[in-house]
Amino acid sequence: MKNPGPEPFEATYPAITRWVKDLGNVEFGYDRDTDTFVRATDESGVRFGGGDRFGTIDDASRDLEEGIKTLLEGQKVDTRESSRTSGTRKDRDATHRQEPSRPPAGRRSRPVETPEARKVRTLAEIAEQLRQGKDFPVTRLTTLKGLCEDPEGAGAFALFLTRKVQQVMREKTAPERYRQLVNRAVWELKPYLEQPTGERRELLWALWHEMREEQDEHKPISWGVLRIIKNMNLLVAEKCLESVLRPDEASYWLYQAARDYAERYDARHPNGLTPKSAPLVEEIAGFWRKHLGLKRRVSREK
């Protein structure tokens, strides 16, 4: 009697199977830009990213499976569809290319969603699920990188985040020195973004160095050196300045700043985006919705 072999991949990882067959690609291997080891991507960019390291590839695959499953559930996509669908992908693609059905009389067809609008919708969906009690890895915010590729949008987002931490530091007890630095960042960022000059750029660099020096303590650890951060809001402002001063790296630094702004640890949740992060992610989605001139979707119960 033969010993039963291992479960087929499609049975073990139905969500991954559904994704790679019909929706996009998956990637394994550490990526510095997203700080992830596993990723699910489609034409709009990274839709899910998980972990910067794993003990085994099986561990990484399980994390990817759970991440894609959550993503598909949010989109109301059945992970079992790929195993039920008959025919080859070529056959299915041919079916998809058939003449689309027309909307019923009196109803308008929904306009095609742009990649930018889809990214904003993803952020809004994350915020809504956080409000419902779910949690996610902070790498779910990598969708911001695509939005921040536009220089004008990146600059506006940097100023937005800096103003947000300025407001937080006014409401909470923070060292006067830190508040002064963030206030200066807001004062100097706006004119620079409106009319960048060499002199204003030098002022921003000087301010960035002052911020950096306030939190420049490091501690050796087994795999490198750890920077000691005493005030996360000051760090967010520092990274926003760096995104403006290094425009070629703006998407990376703004993603890092948004992570630091929205991440909220909670002992009841294993991931960095927790229910406490919901209003912060909503603020980020709201900024991009307004910047791109998108209408807020309102669900109506019928």
Q: Specify if 1 maps to a domain.
A: no
Answer yes or no: is 291 within a domain: no
Asked whether residue 191 carries a pLDDT value surpassing 80, the answer given is yes
For 109-160, the pLDDT digits (tens) are: 455 678 899 999 999 999 999 999 999 988 889 989 999 999 999 999 999 9
pLDDT tens figures, 51-101:
767 778 888 888 888 888 888 887 655 555 444 444 444 444 444 444 444
Q: Identify the domain containing residue 20 by its residue range.
A: 9-84
Rounded mean pLDDT of the chain? 83
In this prediction, residue 46 carries a pLDDT of 77
Residue 196 predicted with pLDDT over 60:
yes
Beta strand ranges found along 20-151 (DSSP E): 25-31, 36-42, 45-50
Residues 74, 163 within the same domain: no
The gap from C-alpha 240 to its chain's centroid, in whole angstroms, comes to 16
Please state the rounded mean pLDDT for residues 13-38: 80
pLDDT given for residue 63 in this prediction:
87
Q: Are 189 and 158 in contact (CB under 8 A)?
A: yes
Rounded average pLDDT over 270-284: 93
Encoding tokens for residue 68?
């894609």
The answer to whether residues 234 and 211 touch, using CB atoms and an 8 Å cutoff, is: yes
Q: Total domain count for the chain?
A: 2
Residue 290, in any domain of the structure: no
- Domain match, 78 and 152 both: no
Query: What is the per-residue pLDDT for 226?
Result: 86
